[in-house]
Structure 1
């Protein structure tokens, strides 16, 4: 049972080094999308900003440089190991603070921040609707909340067996606590009272298995599907072998969609 459990995507967060490597690789693959995401964020000089699910704080430090020394940036994460790796920003940046806590029960007073952001986090939160409501609670009137997550029901790999691919990918995505949360974000914002709610779709094109692994751990899916009896062993192995073969031959392709939702309190 332990060997099978180790194949689940959620287990990556149990080890700080593995989690950091996973986050770093994902950030590299999403560099272009990141620029668009940053352009949507209203983090002006002097702003007080909260990054929910900050990991080791790369975005916290980038935001600190953006808002400058008159601002303030707080990074919150549920992993004590990742928080411990947070570092200060540069001399011309805002002071930064790292806080241990849960996205659906933020340890801050009402109307504390000018901007609250969360990237690739809500998919893992036990109560995603509460997390969005909490972000709106702690932002000031007129302040902005931005949340983005992938829709795991929309990953589309180019593979020969369509039915088998649908079956394995649907089962594999269900290991994420909230695989379809991206398509529900707008509803969460509206129900929490946000105004000026807007949606931006960010297409993601992945042309290597390493890139796909950075966002989905796809290379583990065939072995896990065989081990847990989701599909017959021979079919699972053939499916996994095709993925490896396409990657080695430079023919791997998978694309998907990130959903970015912004709203104002």
Structure 2
């Protein structure tokens, strides 16, 4: 896919590289500790009704269904029909689950339906983040929780020699995500939507292999794309990419990042 100028955007490079289910599965492994923190922060009990926005193939829906038990209900919604088609039930002893195709900015539920709504690595991709956050708050009951987490794509920090080039490429490459800085905006968006008792927690991640970094950012493809688009002189950009590969092969690769977790309550 190209822009009107014939240039390939970072977003298009990233999409072309990605097989959706493989990407989600690898990211889930990398983010296991982040997911445990989210589980601890999600205020649900036996019998709760929960919405997972951007559920993918439903791994989190099934985990929550087992947590709330047969008396509960868990609904997953995703904009990808391909991923929804791969979702499966939670199994015996779990809550009833339902998977729907739909958009975060226009949730097909009445107000005050759920005890809690969550979204993980979703708001960074939606066309209208404010609408998605407001919709999540609308569909939870008074006293219900909205729990959202996204990485801040302006804070990825790889350990590489050329600082100036690293800043330049990482800033450009971060724009492969439609809402690259939305994580730092989530608190404001929840408050503006009407949530109270809004809290913020930062979860650091340390990625020690290129495979782990690619699962979240596809940084391994950034050098060639930057060279092709003239973001940096070709030899210098490709040398930057070669350093990434070399550090990974040596076992010295490191890229730091930050996930922002925001929780709010409906009045």
- Specify the alignment match of 2:215 in structure 1: 214
- Specify the alignment match of 1:25 in structure 2: 26
> CA separation of 1:109/1:190 partners in 2, compared to 1, >3 Å: closer, same or farther?
same
Aligned-pair CA distance for 1:57:
0.3
- Specify the alignment match of 1:172 in structure 2: 173
d(CA) in 1 for partners of 2:50 and 2:244? 41
> CA separation of 1:211/1:123 partners in 2, compared to 1, >3 Å: closer, same or farther?
same
- Specify the alignment match of 2:35 in structure 1: 34
Aligned-pair CA distance for 1:33:
1.6
After TM superposition, list the pairs within 5 Å mapping 1:123-142 onto structure 2.
Answer: 123-142=124-143
Tell me if the contact between 1:200 and 1:260 (Cα under 8 Å) persists in the aligned partners. Answer: yes
After TM superposition, list the pairs within 5 Å mapping 1:158-237 onto structure 2.
Answer: 158-237=159-238
d(CA) in 1 for partners of 2:265 and 2:75? 19
State the TM-score, normalized to the length of structure 2. 0.95
- Specify the alignment match of 1:262 in structure 2: 263
> CA separation of 1:22/1:79 partners in 2, compared to 1, >3 Å: closer, same or farther?
same
Aligned-pair CA distance for 1:8:
3.5
d(CA) in 2 for partners of 1:207 and 1:4? 32
Q: Does 1:247 align with 2:248?
A: yes
Q: Show structure 1 runs of 5+ residues with no match.
A: none
Tell me the alpha carbon deviations over residues 129-164 of structure 1, each in whole angstroms, 9 at most, x when there is no partner. 110000000000000000000000000100000000
- Specify the alignment match of 2:120 in structure 1: 119
> CA separation of 1:12/1:224 partners in 2, compared to 1, >3 Å: closer, same or farther?
closer
d(CA) in 2 for partners of 1:130 and 1:34? 25
Aligned-pair CA distance for 1:43:
1.5
Aligned-pair CA distance for 1:227:
1.0
Aligned-pair CA distance for 1:10:
5.5
